[in-house]
Amino acid sequence: MQDPDAPAVELVGITKQFPGVLANDDISLAVRHGEVHCLLGENGAGKSTLISILSGMVRPDAGEIRVGGKVAPIDSPRDALELGIGTVYQHSTLVRALTVLENLLLGETRGLRLNVEAARARLAEVAATLGVQIDADAPAGELALGRQQQVEIVKALWRGSRVLILDEPTSMLTPQGVAELQKVLRRLKETGISVIFITHKLHEALAVADRITILRAGRVVGVLDTAELAASSAEEVQARIVRLMFGEDSRAVADVAELRTDLEGEQAPVDDQPPDAGPLLALSRVSARPVGGFDPGLEDVSLEIAEGEILGVAGMDGNGQRSLAEVIAGERALSAGEIHLYGARVERLDVSARQKLGLRYVTDDRLGEGIVTSLPVSLNLFLKRIGQRPFWRHGRIERRSVEREARSLVESFDVRTPSVSTRAGALSGGNVQKVVLARELSFDPKVVVFNKPTYGLDLRTTSTVRELIRGLARGGGAALVISTDLDELLDLCGRILVLSRGRVVGEVENGPNAGERVGELMVGAGDVAAV
C-alpha cells in the first residue's frame, strides 16, 4: 500500500499565521527513511511552530502533511502518535515522582488494566534498540538529565514510531551527554527510524545531520546535504550556512559561538589582570538555605572576581545558580559566610544599597521578575531607583527627568520600542532583555552578575549582549556569567567554575578541552550513573 520510495514524512506548503507573525510561510520539506534531518535556524525562525504542527499541537492554516506518501491530517497529538511520529520536547515532560515504568505507562490508554510486565519487556526492547540501559524502577526525577532524555525517547518510540522529533535536545546536556545522544542517533538510523533534530547551533547540526534544512523568518532558505559539504573546508561551510541563516545580517553575528564550527580551537583569551589589584567581588564560604525543592541553595561557596575578569559558572539548571545570583544581589539572605565588594563586607546591605555601590544583577527570569509588564518601558528602566534623586523628589516622581533619561537609555541600548511609554510587556524577548540590561548597566556598574544572559534570544541580540559583557570587563568592571550553555561560557570567560548541588565542585581555566573537563566535573560530582 505504502510507497517504499516515498519520504517518511513530507511537509508541503505549510503556512501558519499567528497574530502579527507569519511563523511558517509555505514550508516544504521531506524527511527520508533512516536519516537525521536537522532543522537549523535561530530563535524565531519558525522551527518550534513547524514542530508543533507536526506533533499535532498546532494546526496549520494551509498546506498538508504526508506520511509514507499518503496525505495525513494531524489534528491532535494523538493523531501524530498514531501516524508514528513521536516527539521529545526541550523541557522534560516526565512526572518526577513516578518511576520510569510508571511514566511510560501514563501514555498507555489501551484497555483499563495496566499491563506492567508487557511494559517492562517493551522498555527492555526499546532500550536495546537505543543501546542504552535504563532502570525501570528508578524515580524519573532522580535520573540525570541525559538519562531522562533517553526515557523521553523511549516514550516517543513506545508505540512503534518511525519518525522521532527532538526539539533542541542538547540544550540540557553535558558534552558527554551529547556524545551519548549521538550514539543513540546512530543506532536509530540503523533501524531505519528518521530523526528530525532541531537546533540553533551550527556545529551540532554539522555533527549529527545527514541533511540540514535552514529556516529564516518562517521560510526554508536552503537544504544542504552534509555528505556534499564534506568536500569543502569548514570555513566555507560555515560562511555558506551563516549567509543562508542571516542573509544581509550575517556580518552582525559572524563571531557568535553558536555559529562556529569548532569551539575548542578558538578560546577567549584570559584577560591579563593588573597583578596587585585585589578582587572586586569575593565570596567567602557562603551558604544559603535551599528553596522549595527546585533550588538546592548554596553550601560553602567561595569565589573571587578581579577587575577586568569574566568568571563563568557552569552547571545544570537547578544546581544553585539562582541562589548564587540572588545572594550576591542581596535578594536572598545567606546563612553563613561573607561577601566582600571592593574589600568591604556587604552581606548585610539590601538590594538597593548594593545597587548603588555598582553591584548589579541581570536576572534570568526577565518576564517573571526582570520587568513589570503592565508598566511603561520608562518606569521599568528606573525600577531599582524608586525614590532616588533626581528621578524622585520628596517622594514625588519627576516625570520629565525620568522620560528624558529613559529616552537616552533606550537609544544607547538600541531598545526597539514605539515609545518609552509603551507597556514593557508589549516588547519582544530580546528588547525586554535590552531594557533589563539598560537598567543594570547604567549609572556606573562595577560588578555585574549575569544569569543566563542570552537564553532564548536571537543571535543578533546574543551577539550584542556578549559584546556588552566584554565591554564591561574591558572598562575595568567584573562580570559573573552564570549559564547552562557551555558554549557561551567558553566564548566569554577566562575561568569557569562548576556548580553542582549548591557546591563549587571545580574550576577550569579556559583552553583546549575545557568544555570536556567542565562536563566531567558537572557529572562527577553528581551521581555516578549520570550521563
Partner 1 sequence: MTGATTDTALAPETRPLEPAAPSRRFATDALDVVVRSIVPVLLALGAGAILLLALGRNPITFYSNVWKGGIELTAWQDSAIRAAPLLLIAVGLVVVFRANIWNLGYNGQFLLGAALISGLGPHLVATEPRWLALLLLFLVAGGAGAAWTLLPALLKARYETNEIITTLMMSFIGVGVANILIKGPFQDPSVNIPQTRVLPLNKMLPSIPGTRIHVGVIVALVAALLVHYVLTRTSFGLRLQILGANPRAARHVGVKVPRLIVMSFLVSGLLVGMAAAADILGTWGYVRANWNPAYGDTVIPFVFLARLNALALIPFVVFYAVLSTGGDLATQQANLSTDFLLVLVALILLFMTVIEYLGRRRALGASYLTPGLQQALRTSRLRRKASA
Q: Which is nearer to partner 1, 18 or 115 (CB)?
A: 18
Residues 421 to 440: which contact partner 1 by CB under 8 A? 421-423, 426, 428-429
Q: Which is nearer to partner 1, 46 or 279 (CB)?
A: 46
Q: Which is nearer to partner 1, 284 or 401 (CB)?
A: 401
In whole angstroms, how close is the CB of 53 to partner 1 at the nearest point? 11
- Specify the amino acid at residue 180: E
| Strand, helix or coil for residue 487 | helix
* Segment interacting with partner 1, rule: CB under 8 A, options 27-35, 123-131, 146-154, 346-354: 346-354
* Segment interacting with partner 1, rule: CB under 8 A, options 219-227, 375-383, 470-478, 508-516: 375-383
Q: Which residue has the cell 505507562?
A: 105
Q: Decide: is 372 part of the binding site for partner 1 (CB under 8 A).
A: yes
Residue 457's contacts (CB-CB under 8 Å, 6 or more residues apart) are 43, 429, 430, 433, 465
Q: Which is nearer to partner 1, 49 or 462 (CB)?
A: 49
* Segment interacting with partner 1, rule: CB under 8 A, options 96-104, 148-156, 297-305, 378-386: 378-386
CB burial readout 115-150, b (16+ within 10 A) else e = eeeebeebbeebbebbebebebeebbeebbbbbbbb
Q: Decide: is 90 part of the binding site for partner 1 (CB under 8 A).
A: yes
Q: Decide: is 124 part of the binding site for partner 1 (CB under 8 A).
A: no
Tell me the HSE value of 74 on the side-chain side, using a 13 A CA sphere. 31
- The CA distance from 364 to 322, in Å, is 8
- The CA distance from 525 to 185, in Å, is 27
Q: Which is nearer to partner 1, 374 or 412 (CB)?
A: 374
Cell of 178: 551529547
Cα separations (Å) of 516 from 519, 523, 527, 528?
5, 11, 18, 17
Q: Decide: is 275 part of the binding site for partner 1 (CB under 8 A).
A: no
Q: Which is nearer to partner 1, 198 or 490 (CB)?
A: 198
With CB under 8 A as the contact rule, the residue among 367, 401, 442, 524 that binds partner 1 is: 367
- What is the torsional sign of CA 89, 90, 92, 93? negative
| H helix runs in 276-360, sequence order | 321-329, 351-356
With CB under 8 A as the contact rule, the residue among 131, 221, 392, 524 that binds partner 1 is: 392
Cell of 182: 549521538
Q: Decide: is 355 part of the binding site for partner 1 (CB under 8 A).
A: yes
In whole angstroms, how close is the CB of 404 to partner 1 at the nearest point? 17
E strand or H helix that includes residue 504: strand 503-509
Q: Decide: is 293 part of the binding site for partner 1 (CB under 8 A).
A: no
Q: Decide: is 400 part of the binding site for partner 1 (CB under 8 A).
A: no
Q: Quick count: other Cβ atoms within 10 Å of Cβ 444?
A: 10
In whole angstroms, how close is the CB of 380 to partner 1 at the nearest point? 9
Cell of 246: 542571516
What is the maximum span of the chain, computed from C-alpha positions, in angstroms?
A: 81
- The CA distance from 91 to 356, in Å, is 37
With CB under 8 A as the contact rule, the residue among 4, 111, 269, 368 that binds partner 1 is: 368
Q: Decide: is 226 part of the binding site for partner 1 (CB under 8 A).
A: no
The answer to whether 483 and 452 are in contact (CB under 8 A) is yes
Q: Decide: is 138 part of the binding site for partner 1 (CB under 8 A).
A: no
Q: Decide: is 375 part of the binding site for partner 1 (CB under 8 A).
A: yes
Q: Which is nearer to partner 1, 129 or 352 (CB)?
A: 352
Q: Decide: is 455 part of the binding site for partner 1 (CB under 8 A).
A: yes
Q: Decide: is 383 part of the binding site for partner 1 (CB under 8 A).
A: yes
With contacts defined by CB under 8 A, how many residues of the chain interact with partner 1?
51
Cell of 114: 495496566
Cell of 165: 522529533
E strand or H helix that includes residue 392: strand 392-393
Q: Decide: is 223 part of the binding site for partner 1 (CB under 8 A).
A: no
* 495-500/310-314 β-pairing: parallel
Cα separations (Å) of 522 from 27, 180, 280, 300?
39, 15, 27, 17
Q: Decide: is 20 part of the binding site for partner 1 (CB under 8 A).
A: yes
- The CA distance from 341 to 399, in Å, is 33
Q: Which is nearer to partner 1, 48 or 323 (CB)?
A: 48
In whole angstroms, how close is the CB of 55 to partner 1 at the nearest point? 12
- The CA distance from 63 to 27, in Å, is 8
Which x/- pattern, by CB under 8 A, does the window 317-336 give for partner 1?
A: -------------xx-----
In whole angstroms, how close is the CB of 285 to partner 1 at the nearest point? 25
Which x/- pattern, by CB under 8 A, does the window 30-69 give for partner 1?
A: -------------xx-x-xx--------------------
Q: Which is nearer to partner 1, 18 or 186 (CB)?
A: 18
Residues 248 to 267: which contact partner 1 by CB under 8 A? none
Q: Which is nearer to partner 1, 170 or 417 (CB)?
A: 417
Q: Decide: is 79 part of the binding site for partner 1 (CB under 8 A).
A: no
Q: Which is nearer to partner 1, 260 or 452 (CB)?
A: 452
Q: Which residue has the cell 547604567?
A: 442
10 Å CB burial of residue 165 (0-12, 13-18, 19+) is buried
Strand locations in 344-391 (E): 344-345, 359-362
In whole angstroms, how close is the CB of 365 to partner 1 at the nearest point? 5
Cell of 58: 498546532
Query: What backbone phi and psi angles, to 5 degrees, belong to 154?
Result: -55, -45
| Cis status, amide bond into 269, omega within 30 of 0 | no
* Segment interacting with partner 1, rule: CB under 8 A, options 413-421, 469-477, 493-501, 516-524: 413-421
Binding site for partner 1 (CB under 8 A): 18-21, 23, 43-44, 46, 48-49, 90-91, 294, 330-331, 350-352, 355, 361, 363, 365, 367-375, 379, 383-384, 386-387, 392, 395-397, 417-419, 421-423, 426, 428-429, 455-456
